[in-house]
Amino acid sequence: MSKSRSFIRKSPEGVKRITAAKRETVATFLKKVAKEFGFRNNGFSVYVNRNRTGEITASQNKSLHLLKIKHGDMLFLFPSSPAGSSSENMDTSISQGLLRPLGVPPVVEDEIDQYLIKQDGKIYRNRDQQLCRHGPLGKCVHCVPLEPFDEDYLNHLEPPVKHMSFHAYIRKLTGGADKGKFVALENISCKIKSGCEGHPPWPEGICTKCQPSAITLNRQKYRHVDNIMFENHTLADRFLDFWRKTGNQHFGYLYGRYTEHKDIPLGIRAEVAAIYEPPQIGTQNSLELLEDPKAEVVDEIAAKLGLRKVGWIFTDLVSEDTRKGTVRYSRNKDTYFLSAEECITAGNFQNRHPNICRLSPDGHFGSKFVTVMATGGPDNQVHFEGYQVSNQCMALVRDECLLPCRDAPELGYAKESSSEQYVPDVFYKDIDKFGNEITQLARPLPVEYLIIDITTTFPKDPVYTFSISQNPFPIENRDVLGETQDFHSLATYLSQNTSSVFLDVISDFHLLLFLVTNEVMPLQDSISLLLEAVRTRNEELAQTWKKSEQWATIEQLCSTVGVPLSGLHEYGAMGSSTHAASSAMWACQHCTFMNQPGTDHCEMCSLPRT
């Protein structure tokens, strides 16, 4: 029996080919279409013409041959519109790229993305007194508003902007006469497509349908984050203290929020409010991350504080002159900015934190996760440099196609295909000694093709999401420095803090994590009210939580560690909680065993309570 092929057009999927028998019934053909596009049988309509005329209805009696559908004909698919919706609404949903198979939940983008979508974004200019020849209400080419993706405007900023913002890039794609009706941001895949039945699986066979396309690396024209800002210098200084005291490199996760960056049209800024330091082993030349059993709890606490993980930070510092306090300037255009291994690590982190995007069929595209490196600058002082890696690098890392070079940190290496894995060819463009543009195989690969630089700044007027103290609470996982988080350090912190406002005392990110994650008395189930008080800066809520039995027990534990708590009564629980403090369980200062109230000797070691 002869075969015929028809084409179905659907936004944002584009054109797909459906194979059918010449005398196949219309009902069977429409079932194939539903399976190909992921619709239910009644979730779409197929038309012969683009203007939605000549609908093809399901029939068990009619064949494609009777409908005069021939090989190579183009058919048009439209999802069924909800009741009461107009064709205008349908066109709007198409232009926004919201068409998805039925049953798939709608994409909910980040708050900053939802905000920027509603903004005009155009660059308004004043009337030029010399060039404009019209009245005050007129516009000409010299004063008409510019689009947010205008490259000439971005290049003339100070400093020049090499990458437009991601939302400006979306405006560029969705502009024009069709309003981006067929725009779809496709994620790159380096893997063989599954389900190809025309040949044996790799390595015995491969075809053009399942073979991934070759990749030519290009400079990414946009970036998902346009600026990184630390709220204050104290935040960065406390992180650097570890290197200053040990000489070993250090690592941390950046917690903060995404806000609008007004210096760039439709720009996004990553504001850093806290740095969490996970378990790690650092030397002068290397860093090794260890498994962190508290990772999920930290993310949960940060979310309740209105924060999220926005990036990671690491040091690459070598002291040059200890008397002057200078550091070596080793990363520049003559060496490298990020090593291949660091690019792979950044790509791995970005793949773990994808950017939710409504224009992608997968529901995500790229990432807002940033990389910050503390290293020596041209003036031999510590500088903070911000980066991301491109979406192409993310795909190579996700599909395990990129390797670092052992002896050249500035070079990566695209893996070669093996019997276990097919790797598409990766190319990059270079200039030869005669000035000609040539295409090179990415073995090896200069990692500059994968890097996107981001400006890292500190505000003129410092911002403090958390309080700053002269004697701050110790940072987690710094036992190598002799700085431990326990009830002795908590009692010391409370006794040395001179503030009379309980909210200021308790508003310390590392202190809140200790209250939740300590093994003696974790408060994970009873600290939500306090976290809400810190998030909203509400002293009344903090005072309410201070009167709880949990805080009274914390005070009782602090009183058993032998630290003079002359000022602790200022933060003590009041009212009925005073009795709770006197009758609470107490920790033995010799073996830390938690004893029942009313006993004078430890039930475990039999030593006296005091």
513-566 tens-digit pLDDT? 999 999 888 888 889 999 999 999 999 999 999 988 888 888 888 888 766 555
Tell whether the model's pLDDT for residue 3 goes beyond 70: no
Pairing state between β 445-446 and 426-431: unpaired
**177-191, 379-393, 473-487: least confidently modelled range:** 177-191
Tallying the residues shown for the chain, one arrives at 610
Q: At residue 94, does pLDDT exceed 90?
A: no
402-407, long-range: CB within 8 Å, 24+ apart, which pairs? 402/340, 402/343, 402/344, 402/347, 402/445, 403/340, 403/344, 404/339, 404/340, 404/341, 404/344, 405/340, 405/444
> Which of 240, 274, 281 lies closest to 466 in space, CA to CA?
274
Residue 495 has pLDDT above 90, yes or no: no
State which of 145-159, 331-345, 492-506 shows the largest mean pLDDT: 331-345
How many percent of the chain have pLDDT more than 90?
Answer: 49
> What pLDDT, on a 0 to 100 scale, did the predictor assign at position 32?
81
pTM value is 0.78
Cα–Cα distance, 525 to 434 (Å, whole number): 69
In angstroms, rounded to a whole number, what is the distance separating the alpha carbons of residues 566 and 492?
11
d(CA 347, CA 322): 35
Q: Which residues on neighbouring strands pair with residue 321, listed in sequence order?
A: 326
| Cα 145 to Cα 25: distance, rounded to the nearest angstrom | 56
What the block records as the tokens of 522 is: 């974790």
Distance of CA 447 to CAs 216, 217, 243, 352, 389, Å? 13, 10, 27, 21, 9
| CATH number, domain 5-79, options 3.10.20.90, 3.40.630.10, 3.40.47.10, 3.40.50.9100 | 3.10.20.90
Element (H, E) at 237: helix 233-246
So what's the pLDDT on residue 325?
A: 86
pLDDT of 93 > 70? The answer is no
pLDDT for position 179: 67
The segment with the largest mean pLDDT, out of 69-73, 212-216, 576-580, is 212-216
Give me the helix-helix angle, 539-546 and 528-536, nearest 10°: 160
Q: How many angstroms separate the Cα of 258 from the Cα of each of 68, 304, 500?
A: 56, 16, 32
Tens of pLDDT, residues 307-357: 999 999 999 999 998 888 899 999 998 999 999 999 999 999 999 999 999
How does DSSP assign 300-361, residue by residue? Answer: HHHHHTT-EEEEEEEEE--EEETTTTEE----STTS-SS-HHHHHHHHHHHHHSEEE-TTST
Give the chain's mean pLDDT: 84
User: Out of 3.40.30.10, 3.40.50.300, 3.20.20.10, 3.40.140.10, which CATH number does the structure's domain 107-427+434-459 have?
Assistant: 3.40.140.10
CA atoms of 113 and 171, how far apart (whole Å): 13
Are the C-beta atoms of residues 69 and 46 closer than 8 Å to each other? no
**Would the pLDDT of 88 be above 50?**
no
- Output phi, psi for 313, to 5 deg: -135, 145
| CATH 3.40.140.10 boundaries in the chain | 107-427+434-459
Confidence grade of residue 278 (pLDDT, cut at 50, 70, 90): very high
Is the pLDDT reported for residue 86 higher than 90?
A: no
Element of type H or E holding 94: helix 87-95
- Give the span between the Cα atoms of 90 and 78, in whole angstroms: 9
Do 201 and 414 form a contact (C-beta atoms < 8 A)?
Answer: no
Type of residue found at 484: T
**CA distances in angstroms from 519 to 291, 443, 513, 594, listed in the order given:** 18, 50, 12, 11
Q: Which residues make up the CATH 3.10.20.90 domain(s) of the chain? A: 5-79
16-74 pLDDT per residue, tens: 777 777 678 878 888 888 877 777 656 778 887 777 777 888 777 777 777 777 777 77
Sheet strands (E) in 349-471 = 354-356, 364-367, 370-376, 382-389, 402-404, 411-414, 426-431, 437-441, 445-446, 451-457
345 or 75: which leads in pLDDT: 345
